[in-house]
Amino acid sequence: MDKLVGLTDEELVVKYAEGINEAFDVLLNRYKSKLFSYIYFAVRDRDLADDIFQDTFVKAIMTIRQGRYTENGKFPAWITRIAHNLIIDYFRQEKSNNQISSEEAGFDLLNNPKYSDDNVEDRLIHDQIISDIKKLVMFLPENQQEVVIMRYYKNLSFKEIADSTGVSINTALGRMRYAILNLRRIAEEKQMILTMD
């Protein structure tokens, strides 16, 4: 297994396709933390995130075993895309299960100002910004990712972040500062507008 750790993603995929199961274990260990965080951000439910995480790797295993993996040099993007598609499938399924007509609801959904076009557009823009930030967070070093997740997605104070990560408050604040600087730099590189104060 130690020999496998030094191999590239692509070499590990080839080894796994050849029947060396430990190669996939190395890939799993390499990406499980980032991938799980990505899924959890989207669904905000640990059990659901676990299910989608498992399904993602089952799909990846099946694709590689069937010789259909063709993403040379792009394993992290490929595995994230599988997870993303499964998340979208989940939300589509939820939406279709929860749709009700205006008559069933007992009021007119379409003429309710609460659901006017402006609100829908604002929500779509807001959701897109949140989605973009989630994608950018995945490019940060792990300790900066952790602080951003705890602060912005779990609403923890810097004292709580410091206590739970075993560092000083100053270190937690420093990591957040660097995370924001890095997020802005990455956003500029990707030509995205990012507001995070």
pLDDT digits (tens, 9 = 90+) for 155-192: 778 788 888 889 988 888 888 888 888 887 877 776 65
Question: What average pLDDT does the segment 108-134 reach?
Answer: 57
* pLDDT bracket for residue 153 (50, 70, 90): confident
Mean pLDDT for the chain overall: 78
Domains of the chain: 1-100 (1.10.1740.10), 114-197 (1.10.10.10)
SS3 per-residue string spanning the chain = CHHHHCCCHHHHHHHHHCCCHHHHHHHHHHHHHHHHHHHHHHHCCHHHHHHHHHHHHHHHHHHHHCCCCCCCCCHHHHHHHHHHHHHHHHHHHHHHHHCCCHHHHCCCCCCCHHHCHHHHHHHHHHHHHHHHHHHHHCCCCHHHHHHHHHHHHCCCCHHHHHHHHCCCHHHHHHHHHHHHHHHHHHHHHCCCCCCCC
